[in-house]
Chain A
Amino acid sequence: MSRELVKDPLNIIICGVGGQGNILATELLASALVEKGYYATVGETYGASQRGGSVMSHVRISASTEYGVLIPLGQADIIVSFEPTDTLRVARDYANKSTLILTDSRPNYPLGVLIGEASYPSMDAIVAELEKLSGQVQVIEATNLAVEAGNSQAANILLMGALTALPSVPIDVADYNKVLEQRFSGKALELNLKVFKIGYEQIKQ
């Protein structure tokens, strides 16, 4: 097997709102990479609250050396996001014209929107700006698909399925399933394997 990466280091950002399972998804991805012999480092940024704040994880993958846990501005190769406005917030700082973006379309309304001080932008406007900032944008209805599959909380693993299907990501379904099997059992494992496959198929179709 060739260990060489399409780009080294390969920089991936996984972002969303606290409580969406961002940290677990990232940990599973990076564990699968380390199991496969890559250097993987993860930097996690989350605020003081357990839930509700923006959460962003940086994953840096290399075949040859360890990198610092944070990605320099404008140098994300892939952005995977669980929340559209957070996708745009992160893309403005970290995307470049080659960046590939996978984003859920389901809004999670911030306080300012709830109390009517700010409005939530339309998905069309968000995607239009994302397309200007990056190389490619794919919207995946991750939360809705996860709800259909049995649990909205599984949207994180569903998006990891989509990420794994990208040719530049050097792990495959079996690698990710292996770490899922290490950490889950019974119904939770069944659900996670199922949504992972659904996510994978979103890209492969």
Chain B
Amino acid sequence: MEWMIIANEPGKTYLMQGNEAIARGALEAGIRFAAAYPGSPSSEILAMLGHVAEKADIYAEWSTNETCALEACLGASFAKVRSLCIMKQNGVLTVGDALHSASLSGVRGGLVLVVADDPSAHSSTNEFDSRHQARAAAVPMLEPVNMQEAKDMVKWGYELSEQLQQLVMVRTVTRINHGRSSVTLGELPQEKPSPAVIGEWDRMVAINWFKDAQIAKLAQAQEIFEDSPFNWYKGPEDPDMIIVTCGTGWLYSSEAVESLGLKDTVGILKIGTTWPLPEKFIVKHLVKTKKVLVVEEVDPFLEQNIANIIAYHPELNIELSGRQGQKAIPRNGELNPDIVLNALTNLTGKTFARPETVVIPQEEAVALPPRELTFCAGCPHRASFFLLKQTLRIHEGQGVVMGDIGCYTMGGQRAGHFLYGFLCCMGGGINAAEGLGNLSRFGFDQPVVALAGDSTFFHSCLPGLVNAKYHDSNMLFVILDNSATAMTGFQPHPGIGLTAMGKAAEPVSIQKVVEAIGCQVTVADPFDIDGTTNTVYNLIKQPGLKVLILKQECATLAVRKREKPRVWVDQDLCRGDDCGCGRFCSRVWGCPGNIWDYEAGKAKIDEVVCVGCGVCATLCPAGAIKMEGGKADE
């Protein structure tokens, strides 16, 4: 709730989402600048800061990509302004060069980089552990266990950043970002400092001359972390085992120790400063035991760095287990309370009385249809994928489609008729297509198609398009322009004409950008299935680079703006299974609004789900799907 993050009520406790707590912590620290590229599970942070920007007297932007965001924050930092940069784990890979360079130049105004990791990749294509980037770039990293600590760590991160003159990373995970718990508010600063004058000899220059300074800053961080209130030990003085944990592992471990009645024999060492590790603090506690279980999200990062500490301390005689050691915890996937309970049961032999549960034998259990992800009702991507699939089928050659990252990533699954053969990262499709298209000189004659959404186009397709144009690759680049960064919650991008702070801006026209590069560009409506199928077919037949913009607004946004037309099936006209269409509307088209009326043996519209786009009405061979009413309300 936006009002919570600017509520001037120190001491008041509210239920807050982790992302709200992070935004609040940054405001309590007195930031004036925030920049991010949307990515689940981090997107709410900048969205909220944008909405409160005027009241909080800050500037917030949805940057075109993560590198733009981080380097914009470095610019603010040069004038000693505190800034917050936010991204997901994939983002921290795209900013690698900027991050490693910034760590050499250091910062002036405090700069906190919040990185939201996504263990089990709930909303991602991978579960990269961003702590590797902190270690590789020699940047201090903090890792909160709950929403309160997320707020407090972000706030303290600014003091640390300015003390060290180094950026500070805060690593969260989905369960923190999208979880909610009680957060007690601190004070909001009354006044915020103005940008400092940048003097003749002030410098933020990233060059290897400063490597010694970078190393010294990390050593200084380690000294500070030795006494950090974010690190603590809870348990007996002579434990049989110590659980070393960070992030979500703290509460799961505490519950497991309690449930198994191990409070007198198992201690928990909770680490909030995960890079660099407070070595003396860790050794002081680990010397008490012979067994250590490390509980952490994603990779055995903490575990391997503890192994590193053990290697240099002969006084430690420890059997180490975790995601690596003893395979105590699965190597892959998100933690949960049962994983921690099972690991502890396996290591201690202790069990507890679980509530009585019933397991139904498979042959007696109801067969449940899986709930696959699919495009929303009325989504223009459904139409785009349908017509692309049709076109590539009509074409005598076997078309190859390179996907990209966004809602339309689902086009590689059933929702998009398994259209993709290739998927890499943001902006990966066009580059791979450029390479493949250039094989035509060696006789490769399959049509090559790359897809990207409008937000992805701005994020990372521009260099690829220039490359494909300059080398005249034999390919079709399709931009699925739904006027939204839909997958992450409709954040505006440079093509939209709106800023994160809700102000109007002059939109950057995708068509004009493409034309300025010198490409031949066609704009078509994916809802015009027949017309656009022909357009795509004709484009594929032409040699060289072609660009097609398929433009139709995201259905979830569109439905908010206009009165919904009513779409229904005239069951007198629907010929049911005698039609010969094979239940086209529900089986092939696959929109959640098109259902089958088993009693009547006819098609039906689920009017609760339908958004009234009416495309199915144009496709029904019997003309049984009708549409009426609806008007633009803008």
On A, residues with C-beta under 8 Å from B are: 17, 19, 27, 30-31, 33-34, 39-54, 66-75, 85-86, 88-89, 92, 95-98, 106, 108-116, 118-121, 125-126, 129, 132-133, 143, 147, 152, 183
Task: Determine which of A53, A67, A88 lies in contact with B251 in the assembled complex, contact meaning CB atoms within 8 Å.
Answer: A67
Q: Are B487 and A48 in contact (CB under 8 A)?
A: yes
Task: Determine which of A41, A52, A92, A109 lies in contact with B181 in the assembled complex, contact meaning CB atoms within 8 Å.
Answer: A41
A-B contact count (CB 8 A): 194
Q: Are B371 and A53 in contact (CB under 8 A)?
A: yes
Q: Are B182 and A96 in contact (CB under 8 A)?
A: no
8 A Cβ contacts from B565-603 to A = 583, 586-588, 590-592, 594-596
Of B28-36, B131-139, B355-363, the one with at least 4 CB within 8 A of chain A = B355-363
Q: Are A73 and B338 in contact (CB under 8 A)?
A: yes
Extra inter-chain contacts (6) besides given A41-B180, A118-B369, CB under 8 Å: A39-B181, A41-B181, A50-B407, A111-B374, A111-B592, A114-B591
Residues of chain A contacted by B40 (CB below 8 angstroms): 48
A126 to B410, CA, bound (A): 29
Q: Are B14 and A34 in contact (CB under 8 A)?
A: yes
Task: Determine which of B358, B369, B407 lies in contact with A120 in the assembled complex, contact meaning CB atoms within 8 Å.
Answer: B369
Q: Are B181 and A40 in contact (CB under 8 A)?
A: yes
Contact of B463 with A by CB under 8 A: no
Closest to B181 in A: A41
Contact of B632 with A by CB under 8 A: no
Contact of B367 with A by CB under 8 A: yes
A11 to B231, CA, bound (A): 29
A126 to B357, CA, bound (A): 17
Residues of chain A contacted by B504 (CB below 8 angstroms): none
Residues of chain B contacted by A129 (CB below 8 angstroms): 360, 365-366
Q: Are B122 and A71 in contact (CB under 8 A)?
A: no
Residues of chain B contacted by A43 (CB below 8 angstroms): 175, 178-179
Task: Determine which of B251, B360, B370, B594 lies in contact with A133 in the assembled complex, contact meaning CB atoms within 8 Å.
Answer: B360
> Which one of A44, A54, A120 has the highest number of Cβ atoms from chain B below 10 Å of its Cβ?
A44
A30 to B1, CA, bound (A): 13
Residues of chain B contacted by A70 (CB below 8 angstroms): 175, 252, 336-337
Task: Determine which of A67, A74, A89 lies in contact with B357 in the assembled complex, contact meaning CB atoms within 8 Å.
Answer: A74
CB distance from A162 to the nearest CB of B (A): 19
Residues of chain A contacted by B255 (CB below 8 angstroms): 67-68, 72
On B, residues with C-beta under 8 Å from A are: 1, 13-15, 17, 40, 122-123, 146, 175, 178-182, 248, 251-252, 254-255, 259, 336-338, 341, 354-358, 360, 365-377, 407, 409-410, 414-415, 486-487, 489, 556, 583, 586-588, 590-592, 594-596, 606, 608-609
Residues of chain B contacted by A72 (CB below 8 angstroms): 255, 259, 336-338, 341
Pick 11 A–B contacts, CB within 8 A, sort by A.
A34-B14, A43-B178, A50-B487, A51-B556, A52-B371, A66-B181, A70-B175, A70-B336, A89-B368, A98-B356, A110-B372
A66 to B180, CA, bound (A): 11
- Decide: A46 near B122, CB < 8 A? Known: A30-B180, A129-B366: yes
Closest to B354 in A: A74
A86 to B369, CA, bound (A): 10
Q: Are B360 and A68 in contact (CB under 8 A)?
A: no
Residues of chain A contacted by B259 (CB below 8 angstroms): 72
Task: Determine which of A31, A69, A88, A114 lies in contact with B592 in the assembled complex, contact meaning CB atoms within 8 Å.
Answer: A114
Q: Are A109 and B595 in contact (CB under 8 A)?
A: yes
Q: Are A116 and B407 in contact (CB under 8 A)?
A: no
Task: Determine which of B178, B369, B587 lies in contact with A119 in the assembled complex, contact meaning CB atoms within 8 Å.
Answer: B369
Closest to A98 in B: B355
Residues of chain B contacted by A68 (CB below 8 angstroms): 175, 248, 251-252, 254-255, 337
Q: Are A30 and B609 in contact (CB under 8 A)?
A: no
Q: Are A48 and B122 in contact (CB under 8 A)?
A: yes
Task: Determine which of A45, A48, A69, A116 lies in contact with B410 in the assembled complex, contact meaning CB atoms within 8 Å.
Answer: A48
- Decide: A114 near B596, CB < 8 A? Known: A34-B14, A50-B376, A52-B376: yes
CB distance from A151 to the nearest CB of B (A): 10
Residues of chain A contacted by B489 (CB below 8 angstroms): 50
CB distance from A32 to the nearest CB of B (A): 9
Which 9 residue pairs across A and B have the least CB separation, nearest first? A68-B251, A118-B369, A96-B355, A42-B180, A34-B15, A69-B179, A41-B181, A74-B357, A72-B337
> Which one of B179, B180, B255 has the highest number of Cβ atoms from chain A below 10 Å of its Cβ?
B180
CB distance from A187 to the nearest CB of B (A): 16
Q: Are A42 and B181 in contact (CB under 8 A)?
A: yes
Closest to B40 in A: A48
- Decide: A115 near B251, CB < 8 A? Known: A43-B175, A48-B487, A129-B366: no
- Decide: A66 near B355, CB < 8 A? Known: A50-B376, A50-B556: no
Residues of chain A contacted by B252 (CB below 8 angstroms): 68, 70
A49 to B374, CA, bound (A): 7
Q: Are A96 and B181 in contact (CB under 8 A)?
A: no
- Decide: A115 near B182, CB < 8 A? Known: A68-B255, A132-B358: no
Q: Are B337 and A47 in contact (CB under 8 A)?
A: no
A145 to B548, CA, bound (A): 46
CB distance from B532 to the nearest CB of A (A): 23
Residues of chain A contacted by B595 (CB below 8 angstroms): 109, 114
- Decide: A111 near B587, CB < 8 A? Known: A42-B179, A42-B181, A95-B357: no
A109 to B14, CA, bound (A): 37
A92 to B375, CA, bound (A): 27
Task: Determine which of A44, A45, A97, A152 lies in contact with B355 in the assembled complex, contact meaning CB atoms within 8 Å.
Answer: A97
Residues of chain B contacted by A115 (CB below 8 angstroms): 414, 586-588, 590
Residues of chain A contacted by B487 (CB below 8 angstroms): 48-50
Closest to B593 in A: A114
CB distance from B386 to the nearest CB of A (A): 13
> Which one of A17, A109, A113, A114 has the highest number of Cβ atoms from chain B below 10 Å of its Cβ?
A114
A114 to B367, CA, bound (A): 16
A74 to B369, CA, bound (A): 22
A51 to B486, CA, bound (A): 11
Closest to A144 in B: B608
Residues of chain A contacted by B373 (CB below 8 angstroms): 47-49, 52-53
CB distance from B243 to the nearest CB of A (A): 14
Residues of chain A contacted by B366 (CB below 8 angstroms): 88, 121, 125-126, 129
Q: Are B414 and A97 in contact (CB under 8 A)?
A: no
Q: Are A96 and B357 in contact (CB under 8 A)?
A: yes
A54 to B337, CA, bound (A): 21
A52 to B370, CA, bound (A): 12
Residues of chain B contacted by A46 (CB below 8 angstroms): 122-123, 178
Closest to B125 in A: A48
Q: Are A118 and B181 in contact (CB under 8 A)?
A: no
CB distance from B456 to the nearest CB of A (A): 14
Closest to A110 in B: B371
A198 to B214, CA, bound (A): 63
Q: Are B15 and A30 in contact (CB under 8 A)?
A: yes
Q: Are B370 and A27 in contact (CB under 8 A)?
A: no
Q: Are A121 and B367 in contact (CB under 8 A)?
A: yes
Q: Are B369 and A113 in contact (CB under 8 A)?
A: yes
Closest to B592 in A: A52
A117 to B145, CA, bound (A): 43
A121 to B370, CA, bound (A): 12
A33 to B255, CA, bound (A): 21
Residues of chain A contacted by B369 (CB below 8 angstroms): 85, 109-110, 112-113, 118-121
Residues of chain A contacted by B13 (CB below 8 angstroms): 34
A118 to B15, CA, bound (A): 41
Residues of chain A contacted by B409 (CB below 8 angstroms): 48
